[in-house]
A and B are shown apart, each in its own frame.
Chain A
Amino acid sequence: MAFLKNRPAQNASRSQPESSSKRWLREHKEVASSSWHRLWQTPLANLLTWLTLAIALALPAALLLLLSQAQHLGQQVNQSSHISIFLAPYVNQEQGQLITNQLASRPDIAQATYISAKQALINFKASSGLEDILASLTDNPLPATILIEPANTSLGPEAIAILAQQLRQQDQIDQVLVDMAWLDRLQALLATSERFTYSLALLLALGVLLVVGNTVRLQIENRKQEILVIKLVGGTDAYLRRPFLYAGFWAGLFAAIIAWVILQLGVTYLHPPLLSLAQSYQSDWQLEGLSWFGSFILVIASCGLSVLGASLTVGRQLRLIEPK
């Protein structure tokens, strides 16, 4: 049976083109390889194109990277938000200690630290350097304070606001301070940066499309004679389009690789000063380079945009070249 099956196939391959899927695969392999070899015929011109594309990619990618890590940091800041409670002046140290213990036993509070009015004054003297002025005061102007750390570190700003509201209702408590405004400002700043980054990414993606489109247009112009002859001997549009789409793909791949290197260099360069900045805030935050997933997205976006740019141009340009 195998013998019988083999013979017609052999005959077919001798006289006719092979099966369509096999042919499709082989043709794509051929075009991928021939367009790859063509790249190295004009390496400098290609390198310049790749660099242009890489910069257009690296810029939004760097901003997105910083943004995602800043958002991460923002969440950390949220989690470590303290609540300061100022006790009423008539509450003495004993009562203050009692309130602190009561608060500490609440399930939604992890830690409550009592700072007496006297201790607060000592702290303030040490940190402000206003000892002389403070010494001239007859009364201690500072109230006793309880510092509270909420229990659930994943508690959002709303939950903290509710906790603060509950605390305010207690008689002996004069004032409850949560630095919500600062957190709100940080959130707004991050949201603004996010939109800015997305707009910039959109514009630069458009830039990538235009650069690739223009490069392909020039390549088509350079190969006009070849395209004319191929059209005359019956080359289809798909056949003519293919090498230019592959050229776009290679450009996208090399641009992604260069953009990746630019990003890693940038991260390495920025890392030391950012690290000391983070350490000054007692944060263990570190600027990280692109993850595997991020690198994958960069390559996909770059190749996708380049092939799209090439295909948008190539159809229109090929129609302009007709044998006369």
Chain B
Amino acid sequence: MIRFEQVSKKYHDKHALVRTNFHLQRGDMAFLTGHSGAGKSTLLKLIMLMERPTSGKVIVDRQDLSQLNRAQVPAHRRKIGLVFQDHQLLLDYSVFDNVALPLKISGYNERDSGRRVRAALDKVGLLDKEKLSPQVLSSGEQQRIGIARAIVNKPKLILADEPTGNLDPALSAEIMRLFQQFNQVGVSVLIASHDLELIQRLPHPVIQLNQGRISGPPSLMRQ
């Protein structure tokens, strides 16, 4: 699903990623870890085409991203469900409208979109909050809204950047269970997290980044 081939990224003089190789198979779930500044965000940004690599090849869903021009970026991003640490919800939108945003962009009509939004909200257990503003929800609930928005378009790949960063351990475990549920129905999941305690309790491979260099189990490192 995601393949990095000798990917390097340099910001001015600083090497954020150095000749990185890994391969996340279709339907797999993996964690990406390393302390802050190790290159986690850079790696996710390369997958989202928020950045372009200095050298090497990033392949997502069999598509070489270097082949995509600026106009093709939105279509690429629509294939990926993205979950942020700070949830990035729009506070002047209702919960429903936040979740419906990816569908609106994809041109769904109200009826189909309503059905999908409610299905997504049901999955994260917040069906009864659709009319509220995200502002009145707890941070755990806000994060779940963010996840509902990421899955509403039924993406093949979910990327999460520190999704449990602001949550207590119980809530974090609950969020991770959600990701596992999506993975069980065939969605590929890559989660950047530095919550080692939580990660180690879960049966998924871990990719480690250290000063832009990558290491991990052979299953992920082979090409």
Chain A positions near chain B (C-beta within 8 angstroms): 13-15, 17-18, 23, 26-27, 225-226, 228-237, 239, 322-324
Contacts and interface: CB of A to CB of B under 8 A. Distances in A.
Contact of A233 (B77, B108, B109): B77
B152 to A, nearest CB: 10
A18 B149 contact: no
Contacts of A13: 109, 112
B105 A234 contact: yes
B185 interface: no
Interface of B: 48, 50, 71, 74-79, 82, 88, 90, 101-102, 105-109, 112, 149
Nearest to A229: B88
A23 B88 CA distance: 27
B88 A234 contact: no
Contacts of A233: 77-78, 82, 101-102, 105, 149
A contact patch SS: helix
Nearest to B116: A15
Contacts of B77: 231-234
Given A14-B112, A18-B109, 18 more contacts: A13-B109, A17-B107, A17-B112, A26-B109, A27-B107, A229-B88, A229-B90, A231-B74, A231-B77, A232-B50, A232-B77, A233-B101, A233-B105, A234-B78, A234-B105, A235-B105, A236-B71, A324-B50
3 residue pairs, one from A and one from B, having the closest CB atoms = A234-B78, A234-B77, A17-B107
Contacts of A17: 106-109, 112
A230 B109 CA distance: 18
Residue of A13, A226, A234, A322 with most partner-chain B CB within 10 A? A234
B105 A230 contact: yes
6 contacts: A17-B108, A18-B107, A26-B109, A228-B88, A229-B90, A237-B74
Contacts of B82: 232-233
Contacts of B78: 233-234
Given A23-B107, A322-B50, A324-B50, A236 B112 contact: no
B101 A230 contact: yes
A108 B82 CA distance: 88
Nearest to A236: B74
A26 B76 CA distance: 24
A15 B71 CA distance: 25
A13 B115 CA distance: 12
Contact of B102 (A23, A234, A323): A234
Contacts of B76: 234
A212 to B, nearest CB: 24
A239 to B, nearest CB: 6
Contacts of A235: 74, 105
A218 to B, nearest CB: 17
A14 B75 CA distance: 21
Among A13, A233, A237, max chain B CB count under 10 A is at: A233
Contacts of A23: 107, 109
Contacts of B88: 228-229, 232
Contacts of A239: 74, 105
A122 to B, nearest CB: 87
Contact of A229 (B50, B101, B107, B108): B101
A112 to B, nearest CB: 79
A229 B102 CA distance: 10
B118 to A, nearest CB: 14
A178 B109 CA distance: 75
A38 to B, nearest CB: 11
Contacts of A26: 109
A37 to B, nearest CB: 12
Nearest to A233: B102
A18 B75 CA distance: 17
A15 B75 CA distance: 18
Contacts of B102: 233-234
A170 B9 CA distance: 100
A17 B154 CA distance: 14
Contacts of B90: 225-226, 229
A233 B84 CA distance: 12
Nearest to A17: B107
Nearest to B78: A234
B74 A234 contact: yes
Contacts of B50: 232, 322-324
A23 B104 CA distance: 11
A231 B102 CA distance: 10
A309 B32 CA distance: 46
